[in-house]
Structure 1
Amino acid sequence: MSSTPRTKPQVRLEPITEADLPELAAGNLDAFPTFYDPLEPESRRPPHDVRVRRFAHRLKSVVSSPHVLATKAVLASSPSASSGPDDDDGDNKQGSLVAIALWHRPGAPVRNTKRRNLLGDAPEGETKEDREAWEHVDLEAWEKVWREWDEVRESVMGDTPHWYLVPIWVKPAYQGLGIGKALMQQVIDLCDAQSPPTPIYLEADKRGKPLYEKLGFVEVGESEYVEMVRYNKEGTRPLP
């Protein structure tokens, strides 16, 4: 098992490419098991490698969407033996992916790019591989959760252009070292360059909420994944 590095590693922020999709898919499943497991029932769930491959295929349309900014943090150099994690899998080499963030850009439709039409209303031009990628997924439950989140976001943000973070994760061995904050700061800086700043919307779990509050986010909802908005660096809401 990897141990936490004792010194902060240097990372670069780069666009996610199609070659990163298997690692992105596996990372999503590892980071959010309590979210994805109920949507992919165990009785229908394939072996893990097949599950990852199918998820990676579904993520192609997400990463390639013009409405999405997909960013990865990679190690700028290999950590030294004294400062890097004890990682037998080679995940601490220069160029290794250690974190990701997916963002919907301002002006994107209030519809999560992970959503899919229900069976019987499949997208035009869908291939056999496209259909296979969804075989084990409970499509009704999948659509329900994303639709409900979209409805809440629309009720909060209305027609206001905003960034939407969905999701962000950092590999366990690199958590607590400012990498997640660096991924957040990429978009926060873009927002704060505008006058007034462009808002950012996200759904936070209990672990991430304290970090988001430090970055100026305020609660706007009360679901299991707390809805939060960053209107400005002061963490205040605009006057009605």
Structure 2
Amino acid sequence: MPYTKVEIEPITAADLLEVAAGNLEAFPTFYAPMEPEDIRPPHDERVKRFAHRLRTVISSPHVLATKAVLPSGPDAGKLVGITIWHCPGAPIYNMKRAVVADTEEDRESWNGVDIDKWEDTWKGWDNVRAELMGDVPHWYLAPIWVIPAYQGQGIGGQLLQYVIDQCDAESPPTPIYLEADKRGQPMYKKRGFVAEGKSEYVEMVRWNAQGTTRPEK
């Protein structure tokens, strides 16, 4: 497939419906157990509620949320992929975890979610990351996706490279941590990520461009 050059820009509040819909489309089997069918609202409402919850994520000072957009042509400005990064020094706490609701709209946004399953899922991943990374400052990627019509065109790699370039400008490079499904692992290995865990979504770390394992202290 052809390589498609994109521009990397910050995600804004105006993008959140697209981002929420894209998350659910990219990871349907991941979110389904946390939003069981017997309490799940219609799809449009589900997307709306997810988008509302994401406002807290993109507004956090600990998060860098980026989107890939087409720079030209009839679909110029179209959002075709996203990444959400937790920045180095941020607490090991996934920003999508449930928070205390301040308003009726906040509380409504969690209707249709099994809060216990939601928290258990993210807390479990946080615990593994804390065990593997300890107090090492690192970027945490969660998630990355490209809409199906634009997959295989190098867009995911461009989204990744945006932060990799920042990491490699440091001496030594800042590590990057993520959980990878089988589809994503080849892309990450190509860019220096190595497996450090054994979960279903394999925990991978990019310690350096050479793809070597954790440096000796």
Q: TM-score, normalised by structure 1?
A: 0.88
Match of 1:47 among 19, 29, 42: 42
2:98 maps to 1:116: yes
Query: Structure 1 residue 61 and structure 2 residue 61: aligned?
Result: no
Unmatched 5+ stretches in structure 1: 1-5, 80-92
User: After TM superposition, which residue ranges in structure 1, 4 or more long, deviate above 6 angstroms?
Assistant: none
Partner residue of 1:148? 124
How much has 1:78 moved relative to structure 2? 1.6
Query: What pairs with 1:7-46 in structure 2 (closer than 5 Å)?
Result: 7-46=2-41
Matched, 1:175 2:151: yes
Please give the residue correspondences for 1:1-240 in structure 2 after superposition, counting only pairs within 5 Å.
6-78=1-73, 93-117=75-99, 122-123=100-101, 126-237=102-213, 238-240=215-217
Superposed CA deviations along residues 193-226 of structure 1, whole A, max 9, x for unmatched, are 1111000000000000011001000001111100
Work out the number of aligned pairs and report it. Answer: 216
Q: Is the contact made by 1:10 and 1:77 (CA closer than 8 Å) also made in structure 2?
A: no
- Report SS of the residue matched to 1:227: strand
Correspondence for 1:89: none
Aligned-partner Cα distance in 2 for 1:10–1:185:
13
Distance 1:44 1:133 in 2: 13
Compute the displacement of 1:116 (Å): 1.3
**How far apart, in 2, do the equivalents of 1:217 and 1:49 lie?**
36
Mapped partners of 1:231, 1:7: distance in 2: 30
TM-superposed CA distance for 1:10, in Å, is 2.7
| Residues 165-217 of structure 1 deviation map (CA, whole Å, 9 limit, x = unaligned) | 00000011111111100000010010001111000000000000011001000
Cα RMSD over matched residues?
1.0
Secondary structure, aligned partner of 1:101: strand
Contact 1:22 1:52 in 2 (8 A): yes
Partner SS for 1:73: strand
- Identical pairs, percent: 65
In 1, Cα distance between the equivalents of 2:138 and 2:2?
Answer: 35
Determine the C-alpha separation between the residues in 2 that align with 1:144 and 1:172.
29
